Structure 1
């Protein structure tokens, strides 16, 4: 009887990705944390500024004119959480757990801001 081939599943041709060092993971996470914080603060300040600017005076008797929101605004409002979610997924696939957690938290905060922006623009 002929013996089966000696190569097994462990010696496949697909190379296995090495995990980046923990130091690189933490450095990238800190860098992204600073950038994410700037984006969140800017988005929050713009939300407050636009909300205050668009609020009509209670003493005003003029009805509020309905205004259309440009498609580009909707793409930005909902594009940022989508890009953040993609970034979290990519960092998880790159086996960078600290950075993936930071990006996942950023995704949650961006989604919350996007919902707030949407409610403000539709009201």
Structure 2
């Protein structure tokens, strides 16, 4: 039986990347989970604070509408879920399934918070 030619014996990593160890995947996922939780809590507190600050006074019969939300605010509100989605995609491509799931859930929560922020700012 003849051995395969030298051309057929390429390094195995050239066709497929090796995945990181499960321990590294879980460690990165835990670090990102803590960071994501802090981001979500701060965003939710800001949502409540800004929402209460813009609520009309019960004594006032007139409502003041402000449509001058800066473009940078919209970039932050909708950029955060976009960056989280890119992070989930990158971790999936790096073959880190636990981290990819954590980032996908963070993307979902960021999307819901972005919708809530948008509704509050446009009302």
TM-score where L is the length of structure 1? 0.88
Deviation at 1:67, TM superposition (A): 3.1
Give the equivalent residue in structure 1 for 2:92: 92
Write the deviation string for residues 31-89 of structure 1: whole angstroms up to 9, x where unpaired: 00000000000000000000000001132033414331000000000000000000000
After superposition, where does 1:78-89 map in structure 2 within 5 Å? 78-89=78-89
Question: For 1:58, what is the secondary structure of its paired residue?
Answer: coil
Aligned to 1:17: 17
1:41 corresponds to: 41
Aligned to 1:112, the other structure's residue is in SS state helix
Q: TM-score, normalised by structure 2?
A: 0.88
Which runs of 5 or more residues in structure 1 are unaligned? 1-5
Number of residues paired by the alignment? 117
Cα RMSD after superposing both structures: 1.8
Structure 1 runs of 4+ with >6 Å offset: none
Deviation at 1:104, TM superposition (A): 0.2
